[in-house]
Amino acid sequence: MSFQKNLKYYRKKAGYKTARDFAEVLKIPYASYVAYENKKREPKYQTLIQIANALNVSIDRLIGRYDSSVFSADIEDLKQRIEDILSIQEQKNISLSLSFEHTKTLFFNINIDDTSNQEIEVDISYLKKILDDCYSKYFYSREKEILNTLSLAIVNTAISNNLDKISKLLEQENIFTTDLNDIFFNRELLVFDNPNYKDLMLQHINIYRKLEKLKDNLISNAINK
C-alpha cells in the first residue's frame, strides 16, 4: 500500500476515527495532516517519527517497507499490499489467489489470455525483497514502477517453473539439451513415444511463449515510462 493508504489504515487501527482527531493528538493543523492522507503531501522526517510513535508502528511499515525477516503475522499485510499494487493494472493479467502460511509462499494466477492461465507459487521472502527494493528506490510514490517490477518478478518465476516442467518431460524421453531453440524449433525433438507427453510438451511451449511475450510487454512498459 502507499504511504497515504498506510497512514489512514494505521490511524483507524489505532482507534482514531477521524483525521481531525488524530491531527489534534499530533498538534498539527488539520489541513496539513489531511493532505498527508489525501493529497500525497509528504511529512517532514520529524513529523513522520511523531506519527509513527503515535500510531505505535515502525516508519518502515508506515511508508511501505518491510523488515527483511519473514513473520507469519506479516503475511496478511503483505497480501493486502500486493493486492493493492496489482489492482492498479489497466488490464489485469496477474491476480493474487490465496496464501498458505505454513509453506511460506503466495499463489498467483497469471491470466495469459482468454483461453489459458497458470497458477504459480512464489516464495514470500523473495516477494518481500522485491518490495523492499522497490520502496527503497521509489519511496512511496511512482506506483506504476512498483507494479511493473512486482509483475515482472512473478512472471519470471512462472517462466522458470515452466522451463522446469519442459526439462522433466525431455528427461523422460532421454533428451538432454541446454539450447531451448532446439526444443521449440526442431520438430524431431517433439516426437515422443507417448502422445500424451507430446501434447503436454506443446502446451508447456505454448504457455512459455505467451509468458515470454508478457515479459517483453512489461519490460517495454518500463522502458517507455
Q: Is the pLDDT of residue 195 over 50?
A: yes
What phi and psi, each to the nearest 5 degrees, are found at residue 99?
-135, 155
Inter-CA distances, 129 with 5, 88, 122, 138, 221, Å: 21, 21, 12, 14, 22
Identify the pLDDT of residue 69. Answer: 45
Q: Is the pLDDT of residue 216 over 70?
A: yes
Q: Is the pLDDT of residue 94 over 70?
A: yes
Mean local confidence (pLDDT), 63-73:
53
Mean local confidence (pLDDT), 7-32:
88
Domain ranges of the chain: 3-63, 72-224
CATH number of this structure's domain 3-63: 1.10.260.40
Identify the pLDDT of residue 70. Answer: 44
Of the segments 20-24, 152-156, 188-192, 219-223, which one has the largest average pLDDT value?
20-24
Identify the pLDDT of residue 112. Answer: 74
Q: Is the pLDDT of residue 16 over 80?
A: yes
Q: pTM above the 0.75 mark? A: no
Full 3-state SS string of the chain: CCHHHHHHHHHHHCCCCCHHHHHHHHCCCHHHHHHHHHCCCCCCHHHHHHHHHHHCCCHHHHHCCCCCCCCHHHHHHHHHHHHHHHCCCCCCCEEEEEEEHHHCEEEEEEECCCCCEEEEEEEHHHHHHHHHHHHHHHCCCCHHHHHHHHHHHHHHHHHHHHHHHHHHHHHHCCCCCCCHHHHHHCHHHHCCCCHHHHHHHHHHHHHHHHHHHHHHHHHHHHHHC
Q: Is the pLDDT of residue 52 over 80?
A: yes
Pick the residue with more confidence: 26 or 177?
26
